[in-house]
Amino acid sequence: MLYVSLSGGVVQEAFVAALDARGVPLTHLLRPADAPAELVAWIRARGDDLALHGYDHATRPLGHGRRKGEFASLPHHEAALRLTAARRALTAVGLWTDVFVPPRWLASDGTVAAAAEQGFRVLAVESGIHDLHSGAVVPARVLGARSAPLGVAWVLRRGGPVRIHVRAKDLRRPGRTDSVLAAIDTALGHVTPTTYGRPTRRAA
């Protein structure tokens, strides 16, 4: 399987058009609390799959200038509160999803439990894709725009699912869009494109 996701809060018509031409469906990662109205309208009009991508992306210090992602270490109660707030913000802009992708692809055990309790079906993290209803897990690491060209070949040699995530700012770098699309083309010769909104099939 090939999963392609996009985040960054900016309309990316040229990149998405290139995916459309290849028949590759897209999962938009959206932080609804501060999403631009133009982006929300564009996503709604396209009808692409959507993943809730956190509430406010608040980080916590790790020391030495490093910081944790918003849901990386939250206890259950706090994770539940943030998920509730994020879902309300998503509903307020007229969108809905049962897919959750935490910022930086990191989720604490408390977050996993809270997401399942709140009816999320899919939780996609750095190391894999979890079906919270069935307990199925697809182990597969996320490749960023920079690592995708070499990473796709590595994953394909091992027979695993290919997960490529692109941030809007990645696409502003010279040559980065072309390299990501080339990686996607390589994957398409071996795996079928899908989205995080479709059920996982591989048991843990």
Q: Identify the CATH number of the domain in which residue 41 sits.
A: 3.20.20.370
Strand 137-139 with 128-131, pairing: antiparallel
Residue that is written with structure tokens 């990191």 in the block:
106
Cα 40 to Cα 10: distance, rounded to the nearest angstrom: 10
How far does Cα 169 stand from its chain's mean position?
15
User: Given a cut of 80, is residue 67 above it in pLDDT?
Assistant: no
Task: Dump pLDDT digits (tens) for 106-136.
Answer: 999 999 999 999 999 999 999 999 999 998 8
Cα 91 to Cα 89: distance, rounded to the nearest angstrom: 5
Spatial CA neighbour of 109 closest among 125, 88, 121: 125
Cα 123 to Cα 29: distance, rounded to the nearest angstrom: 12
In a domain, 51, yes or no: yes
pLDDT of the residue at 57: 78
In a domain, 199, yes or no: no
Average pLDDT over the chain, rounded to whole?
91
- Dmax (CA) for the chain in angstroms is 45
Cα 166 to Cα 161: distance, rounded to the nearest angstrom: 16
- DSSP class of residue 104 equals G
In a domain, 203, yes or no: no
Cα 38 to Cα 146: distance, rounded to the nearest angstrom: 27
CB atoms within 10 A of CB 22: 13
Range of the domain at 167: 2-194
Which pTM was predicted?
0.92
User: Given a cut of 50, is residue 51 above it in pLDDT?
Assistant: yes
Number of domains present in the structure of the chain: 1
Residue that is written with structure tokens 């060209």 in the block:
149
In a domain, 143, yes or no: yes
Nearest 10 degrees: Cα torsion 188, 98, 118, 164: 30
Task: Dump pLDDT digits (tens) for 12-23.
Answer: 999 999 999 999
